[in-house]
Structure 1
Amino acid sequence: MLVKSLALVGALAAFGALVTAGPVAAQNYPNRPIRAIVPFAAGSATDIVARTFGDRMSLLLGQSIVIENRPGANGMIGADAVAKAQADGYTILIGTNSTNAAAPALFNNVPFDMHRDFQPVSFLCSVPLIVAVSNAVPVRTLAELIALAKTRNDLTFASASASQRVSTEMLLAMTGIKMTHVPYRQGPTAMQDLIANRVTLFTADLGVMLPQVRANTVRALAVTSSTRSPQMPDLPTVDEAAGLKGYELIAWFAMFTPANVPAEVVTKLNAAVREAAKSPELQNALTAALGMQVAPSSPEELSARVREEAAKWMQAATIAGIEKQ
């Protein structure tokens, strides 16, 4: 306990050195709890990332980071709430590729401008997805599923986010098979229906899928990244399993504030993210347990990444043949 206490004191001291050089206004921030809006349900990967980073950042900032789940509309409800919040640094968004890259490619009436209405703080982490089927589906490999789908017209797939939907739609488009899309408000409900065999297939990130795969409640067929996951080294990539060259789609998570938040506040939040990311507890919770790659960034790096990802997701939606809703 003494070693851990000394380590925490050292981390706090190092963090203080990073942020005390700012103006007096920055030194007064935060002086009350910070609200972190998660635009997806409790138990989702975004929620896990938010709570894990939030716990560590609270220690560093000296104020609680209160998680508020606002799921719905593929994350747009929660993201819009942050876009319209007061620009004082006390409301932050744990955004994703769904809210801060893919939305314009999938929807006609996005209620915010992801470039104009948000201030990037830091990239947090990324994670591949697992393509899985119900245990009741009579297939063991992705190739067998593709063959089955070519003889059936009653197969379905679930999605509750842009990455979940587009990853599956890309797979269908590149293999020429058909499945009926079943949209969900939140990922945990889609998972429950996969386990109960009310949907055939669900593609979700490792954070959500891995515990179910390890518990044998669903059957994993492939991973959506270009390389295999260290957490499941025996699970092939979609490319390996189905011969789909160039197939890759991963989910990512990042922190944003409303636009026009003082630069000093952004600097302090960014420093807290970077220091939190060094924590062995955070690394164990996200990387070792869930296969996430933790990679904090500067605000400028995140801004550039959002623009690159927006172009990438527009191309992915086109390949998948998705019409805007």
Structure 2
Amino acid sequence: MKVLSKLAAVALMLSAFGATAQEYPGSRPISAVVPFAAGGPTDKVARELALAMSKALGGQIIIENTGGAGGTIGAKRVAQAKNDGYTVLIHHIGMSTAPTLYRNLGFDPLKDFEMIGEIADVPMLLVGNKSLPPNTLKELLPYIKANAAKLSLANAGVGSASHLCGLMFMSKIETELVTVPYKGTAPALTDLLGGQVNLMCDQTTNIAGQLRANALKPYAAMQPRRVEAFKDVPTAAEQGLPGLEVKIWHAMYAPKGTPKAVIDKLSAALQKAVQDPKFKAQMAELGAEAVPPAKAKPESLRAHLASEIAKWSPVIKKAGVYAD
């Protein structure tokens, strides 16, 4: 009888969980933590995704901005959150660089999260101020070699997208420039436009307006093909520098131990969202691109995150620049 009672209790628990998974998310909103300030590129992607996913999921997703320490504060908060499916993380490439940039990180991106899927990619462009003599990357590279000690490369701070892209650029050309870190993209871009610094590598979402106004010199697209919104800018590979590819990818995660049935629902909604015509149009307007649905899956994200950690670790270690 005791065995039967125990089996009945287990069956009841499983039945209750099944009902919960079927009803999820119900009327309770899901909190999507963005580990950066409101109004930034990741926040813009997240807010558009929240609208598309809410429609696909049949429940509300609200954005919570928890900035600081290159996105690690918000990520750690989600890693430690209750694993009931009502707290998720929307982060960018920083999930793959944080393990090397922060030697006392406090969480493991691969072990402390459940993967949901990738969201969108934002291209990077290498740009310079209008006063620089070179007009193409082919002209710029020998100019850099001859003037490296006098040329400055701006970034938005340690661990930022522009910092990471700059590290990759210097690694590829095997030349160190004078790096100038700022507290955000806005002051870095202001000084670049004003001629106080010479070069910067940044996301199209940050510099699209200046490029369209012809206020900057675009030297190269850091991806295998030209950026759809800026087709007149050749890729680095087209100009004799293959392998210089940096894209700022975004993805969604949940705390470790979140039930598989919940992860499956979130991933299915994400796959619908990245195919939503309105979401795709909004991403294109930002100079970004929604991923194909096959990449909006847990197994795809896990493989991608692992490969990106392996890609960035030697670049950061070689530069010897750490955020802690």
Q: State TM-score, norm by structure 1.
A: 0.83
Q: Does 1:282 align with 2:261?
A: no
Note closer, same or farther for the CA distance 1:272–1:113 as it changes in structure 2 (3 Å cut): same
Matches within 5 A, 1:27-46: 27-30=22-25, 31-46=27-42
Q: Which amino acid aligns with 1:269?
A: L
Note closer, same or farther for the CA distance 1:94–1:198 as it changes in structure 2 (3 Å cut): farther
Larger radius of gyration: 2
TM-fit CA distance, 1:213: 0.9
Structure 1 residues 3-38: Cα deviation after superposition (integer angstroms, max 9, x where no partner):
xxxxxxxxxxxxxxxxxxx92112332232222111
Q: Does 1:302 align with 2:301?
A: yes
Q: Which amino acid aligns with 2:266?
A: L
Q: Could you tell me whether the CA contact under 8 Å between 2:171 and 2:315 is conserved in 1?
A: no
1:317 counterpart residue number: 316
TM-fit CA distance, 1:253: 0.6
Structure 1 residues 245-269: Cα deviation after superposition (integer angstroms, max 9, x where no partner):
3222222110001111122221111
CA distance in 1, matches of 2:39, 2:130: 22
Question: Is there any run of 5+ residues in structure 1 with no aligned partner, and where?
Answer: 1-21
CA distance in 1, matches of 2:286, 2:166: 25
TM-fit CA distance, 1:293: 4.0
Q: Could you tell me whether the CA contact under 8 Å between 1:102 and 1:162 is conserved in 2?
A: no
CA distance in 2, matches of 1:120, 1:209: 30
Structure 1 residues 109-146: Cα deviation after superposition (integer angstroms, max 9, x where no partner):
22211111111111112232011123344442234444
Q: Which moved more, 1:64-73 or 1:275-284?
A: 64-73
Q: Does 1:259 align with 2:256?
A: yes
Q: Does 1:127 align with 2:125?
A: no
Q: Which amino acid aligns with 2:173?
A: T
1:12 counterpart residue number: none
Q: Secondary structure at the match of 1:63?
A: coil
1:5 counterpart residue number: none
2:268 counterpart residue number: 271
Q: Could you tell me whether the CA contact under 8 Å between 1:41 and 1:187 is conserved in 2?
A: no
2:108 counterpart residue number: 113
CA distance in 1, matches of 2:272, 2:168: 37
CA distance in 2, matches of 1:145, 1:280: 39
Note closer, same or farther for the CA distance 1:43–1:133 as it changes in structure 2 (3 Å cut): farther
Note closer, same or farther for the CA distance 1:312–1:176 as it changes in structure 2 (3 Å cut): closer
Q: Secondary structure at the match of 1:237?
A: coil
Q: Secondary structure at the match of 2:229?
A: coil
Q: Which amino acid aligns with 1:167?
A: C
Q: Does 1:57 align with 2:57?
A: no
Q: Could you tell me whether the CA contact under 8 Å between 2:30 and 2:62 is conserved in 1?
A: yes
Q: Which amino acid aligns with 1:59?
A: K
CA distance in 2, matches of 1:72, 1:220: 30
Q: Does 1:210 align with 2:208?
A: yes
CA distance in 2, matches of 1:269, 1:316: 33
CA distance in 1, matches of 2:262, 2:171: 44
Q: Which amino acid aligns with 1:52?
A: E
Note closer, same or farther for the CA distance 1:199–1:90 as it changes in structure 2 (3 Å cut): farther
Q: State TM-score, norm by structure 2.
A: 0.83
CA distance in 1, matches of 2:266, 2:182: 33
Q: Could you tell me whether the CA contact under 8 Å between 2:91 and 2:250 is conserved in 1?
A: yes
TM-fit CA distance, 1:63: 3.5
2:8 counterpart residue number: none
TM-fit CA distance, 1:204: 1.4
Note closer, same or farther for the CA distance 1:124–1:90 as it changes in structure 2 (3 Å cut): same
Note closer, same or farther for the CA distance 1:170–1:138 as it changes in structure 2 (3 Å cut): same
TM-fit CA distance, 1:290: 1.4
Matches within 5 A, 1:87-98: 87-98=83-94
Matches within 5 A, 1:141-220: 141-149=136-144, 150-151=146-147, 153-160=149-156, 161-220=159-218
**Aligned Cα RMSD in Å?**
2.4
Note closer, same or farther for the CA distance 1:63–1:182 as it changes in structure 2 (3 Å cut): farther
Q: Could you tell me whether the CA contact under 8 Å between 1:226 and 1:237 is conserved in 2?
A: yes
